[in-house]
Chains A and B, each alone.
Chain A
């Protein structure tokens, strides 16, 4: 149980284009999902908290107009990197909390999406 998938697993795009990454909870419902970015040999940096049916909460320094987050259902959140540039190249990982485990802080992670912007 508690499986989170991400699609695509990797993507290469040209500078200036937009890329959408999907995060799905496969066997549980998630009112809250999280989006992280991880640069090589660095820690996971939280970008935003995605709440089903409401606006995402962005961490300080993360441009909400560049990183669009949509959490339209209890099993799907999407991250769109708009007008991507080479410095946006990174490993993007999502995680989700199980709504059935109220009060539990445990997060279940997706396999990550490696974005390369040329």
Chain B
């Protein structure tokens, strides 16, 4: 089955810096890669996703890049703000399944 690994587990940055979180997946046939932001006690919120037919997608300060050859995808947050502090999860669906396998999460702390 699909295995998703996520690094780092924690990331501390200063406000205004960039943050990068990386995930690797095991099944080369996976075709959908979402990123979720979860604040304490709240539901995961989809912040950006990418499909296997493109290599990069950007939405204001957030971008996701996909390297199908290396089987990894990364979340890039530029000009970080304290409100970006949260836990971020990547995910990927096992090919042929509707479910998602989640990474272990990255706790991002943005200090003012």
For A34, the chain B residues whose CB sits under 8 A away are 99-100
With A43-B105, A44-B89 as given contacts, are A105 and B100 in contact (CB-CB < 8 Å)? yes
- What per-residue 1/0 map shows which CB atoms of B83-98 lie under 8 Å from chain A? 0000001000100001
Q: Are A49 and B99 in contact, CB atoms less than 8 angstroms apart?
A: yes
Main secondary structure of the interface of B (DSSP, over half): loop
A63 to B51, CA, bound (A): 33
A109 to B47, CA, bound (A): 13
B43's partner among A46, A49, A112 (CB-CB below 8 A) is A112
Q: A97-B98, A105-B32 are in contact. List 4 more A-B contacts (CB 8 A).
A: A32-B98, A44-B44, A106-B49, A109-B43
Q: Which residues in B have some Cβ–Cβ distance to A below 8 Å?
A: 32, 34, 36, 41-46, 49, 89, 93, 98-105
Listed from nearest, the 10 A-B pairs whose CB atoms lie closest are: A105-B32, A109-B43, A44-B102, A43-B102, A111-B43, A43-B105, A43-B104, A109-B44, A105-B93, A32-B98
